[in-house]
Structure 1
Amino acid sequence: MVRILLAAGHGAGPAHNRGAIYFNEGDNNYIYSLELKKELETYENIKVDLLRKNITDDPTLADRAKAGQGYDLYLSIHSNATTNDDVRGTEVWDSVEKPNVTLAKLICDATAEVFNHRNRGVKYKEGQKGYNWYGELRFNQAKSAMIVENGFHTNKEDCLFFKDSHKKIAEIQARAIASYYSLKKKAIKEDKPHWAEEHYNNLKSRINITDKRFDDKITRGEAMALVDKALDYIEKGGK
């Protein structure tokens, strides 16, 4: 069983906007995490949890790092910012302490492709020698921990695409993660027709019934009405 913790970056509301043009970054990160969770759960042998279970949750960086314990992947969801509104692109900040460049590159490549913008690549940033500069990655106990920057929310194209394309991006990122862990899609259950459907269709053309409550209990009154309609049909010679 692969265990993944999705950590939507920042908190809720205008205080966590951080320069985004079309959304509050913290809100959008949270809403996207719901979509990515949903998409990841279309695969077998996976357990996906949310660090921010409610949109108003805003755990500290230290608490975020501690939360990674017991997970195969801690994926922090963000969008990027710069003072130059022409800058676009995806980048992934992988853990200095527990690097997983293969998975980080899969996520980065797939995300840049779906955004159709520059692939800024997998990056590493140290604080003290050998330790992550980013607080939520520092001492993170997940087997792999990384931050994905889904475009630049200070760029109109990137910001609007991220806001309006949650499902499309989630499908691509989930597929990249699933390929790394060799996860297969769950079988789609086909809805089989109810065993009584054929009888209903036969009766409908003869005695004008319209109720499809196949598994409900029938009342005495409903039984009388059904028998009365059937007898009336017989007495009229099947007309």
Structure 2
Amino acid sequence: VADVLGATPLVVAALLKSESIRPKTIYDRYGITTINTETFEEAIAGKQLPIVYAKSGGYFAHINPDYLKKVREQNKLSLGELSREAGVSKKSLQDYEHGKGAEIENILRLQEALGDLVLNTINIFQFKVESHPEKPQDSVSKRLEQLGFKTTAVHHAAFRMISRHKDDILLTGLKKEARPKKAHDIHSSAETLGQHDMFVLNHSKAKTVQGVPVVEREELENVITSRELLKLLRELTHHS
């Protein structure tokens, strides 16, 4: 869904595998960035982006490589000298000056040796997630594909598929009948996105359900272009 929307998926939670999620720290859950409520609220408000990330082996952060080299040279220390003074391997120091993440323990040792460090924040809104979208195999999806939409199947949501054509996004419900509760959830999602929604049914007397346009399968087959479909949805909503 995030891939179709051009958005960044986030999980906001208090616990991860029974462990409390630390503030200003990001975790990974099935490839999706996971943070706690405090971190999310600070990031949304533009106050503070997280600095630390958790992965196998502990907690890490990125030292600003240019600043690290600058402070090291200001202290007139070679990599070898800093390695001995801080108790951090020379190879690790070279990695840090090339932007590799550092263990929090090593960051504290370097901070004590140099007196000053700058840590880079992590922009959680720019993460790209590897996407393997599942294509729906039903006739509605195939028809939307013919009209130029890129469609993706959706599970555990009110709508069964999400489709995109240029800047237009369409949330589609597929049921034998358009239930008001499900229609309300679809319409609420579409309104939040400022986008389109529809139910596709075999037959229906109602033109809309809870604000969601209802298109019969035969009507959809008769639509020629994506523009014509969006026009039909607007007309159904207007005449409801």
TM surpasses 0.5: no
User: Which TM-score applies when normalising by structure 1?
Assistant: 0.24
Higher relative contact order structure (alpha carbons within 8 Å, sequence separation ≥ 6): 1
Q: Which has the larger radius of gyration?
A: 1
TM-score (norm 2): 0.24
